[in-house]
Structure 1
Amino acid sequence: MSAKLTKGTWVLIADGEKALILENQTDHENPYLTVLTKEEQENPPDREQSANRRGRMGDGGPGQGNMGQRSAYEDTDWHELAKDRFAADLADMLYKKAHKGAFDSIVIVASRQVLGEMRDKMHKEVSDKVIAEVPKVLTNHGLDEIETIVRDALDAK
């Protein structure tokens, strides 16, 4: 049985920095999505968030004593961390809304990375309401396109 967009079904459109929560006002055949809320996170490029130079440490290479070799620490990817944190914040916000009974079913449309991060952080109360996940980035698409893409993706499942 394939998932259907019923009246009142929420559709979350997200990437690592923006999210739209939409609600279907009609049926699956002719979905009409309206914007309930828009979330945005300021997430400058990593180069603007990180230190100028990698840290270094002596790693005491073979037979070299304490200061034999010098290795660079891996740079922290602040941009990716912010995207992961945004996905976790979305999962938390959905839990609060689900707990208040704001929605009965939801379709989550996001990149595979964001889907995975949200899935890891999602409370059972929300995951029980997820009728479909669509691994696409649609944050820069118009509502008409989103309606068609989501309906077609659900039909294909």
Structure 2
Amino acid sequence: MSGLRLAHGTWVLVGDGEKALFFRNEGDATYPHLVVEDVFAQENPPNREQATDSPGRMNRGRPSNNKSAIEPTDWHRLAKDRFASEIADALYRAAHENRFERLVVVAPPQTLGELRKAFHKEVSERIVAEVDKTLTSHPVYDIEKVLTA
């Protein structure tokens, strides 16, 4: 990412599958100053703590001793995908209320993909940039630096 210019009032979503930070640029394009608008977080323990049973097995339609394993459900991944949908819904409501005109989305690649699928047209039309990085645990100063470097 090189030289992203964040106009005054631009919203920046910094998210991953478990945390989302919504910022508004109170500065200008030359000297951005990100201020927290909202924070979403969800507790999402590892899959091994959410799954209770071992994967099932199925018989292929006729009596025999040959059985195939069924792919176990990845509850952790499902929770991350649901969280992306919650973020998209929150942004839709904010866009519908005209709380922002421009949006920059910062998320790791898989979360970015889930967000793209979940974004409503009103939100997608306001996206001015996407950055595929994980920055949710970085201080605001570092986020500003990464976005404008």
Q: Please give the range of the TM-score, normalised by the shorter of the 2 chains.
A: over 0.9
Residue identity opposite 2:23 in structure 1: L
Partner of 1:78: 75
Q: Secondary structure, in 3 states, of the residue corresponding to 2:147? A: helix
The answer to whether the 8 Å contact 1:3/1:131 transfers is no
The answer to whether the 8 Å contact 1:59/1:68 transfers is no
Identity of aligned residues (%): 49
Superposed, which structure 2 residues align to 1:47-126 within 5 Å?
47-60=48-61, 65-126=62-123
Residue identity opposite 1:94 in structure 2: L
Give 1:3 deviation, angstroms: 5.4
Give 1:70 deviation, angstroms: 1.1
The answer to whether the 8 Å contact 1:23/1:36 transfers is yes
In the alignment, the residues of structure 2 paired with residue 121 and residue 140 of structure 1 have an alpha-carbon distance, to the nearest angstrom, of 23
Partner of 2:138: 141
In the alignment, the residues of structure 2 paired with residue 76 and residue 27 of structure 1 have an alpha-carbon distance, to the nearest angstrom, of 46
* CA shift digits 1:35-85 (9 cap, x unpaired): 11110011011011112311111125xxxx422311111010000010011
Partner of 2:127: 130
List alignment gaps of at least 5 residues for structure 1: 153-157
Q: TM-score, normalised by structure 1?
A: 0.90
List alignment gaps of at least 5 residues for structure 2: none
Q: Secondary structure, in 3 states, of the residue corresponding to 1:66? A: coil
In the alignment, the residues of structure 2 paired with residue 127 and residue 37 of structure 1 have an alpha-carbon distance, to the nearest angstrom, of 19
Q: Secondary structure, in 3 states, of the residue corresponding to 2:63? A: helix
The answer to whether the 8 Å contact 1:13/1:20 transfers is yes
In the alignment, the residues of structure 1 paired with residue 4 and residue 146 of structure 2 have an alpha-carbon distance, to the nearest angstrom, of 14
Q: Give the superposed CA RMSD.
A: 1.2
Partner of 2:31: 30
In the alignment, the residues of structure 2 paired with residue 150 and residue 4 of structure 1 have an alpha-carbon distance, to the nearest angstrom, of 8
In the alignment, the residues of structure 1 paired with residue 14 and residue 39 of structure 2 have an alpha-carbon distance, to the nearest angstrom, of 10
After TM superposition, the runs of 4+ consecutive aligned structure 1 residues lying more than 6 A away are none
The more displaced of 3-12 and 86-95 is 3-12
**Equivalent pairs, count:** 147
Q: TM-score, normalised by structure 2?
A: 0.94
The answer to whether the 8 Å contact 2:4/2:148 transfers is no
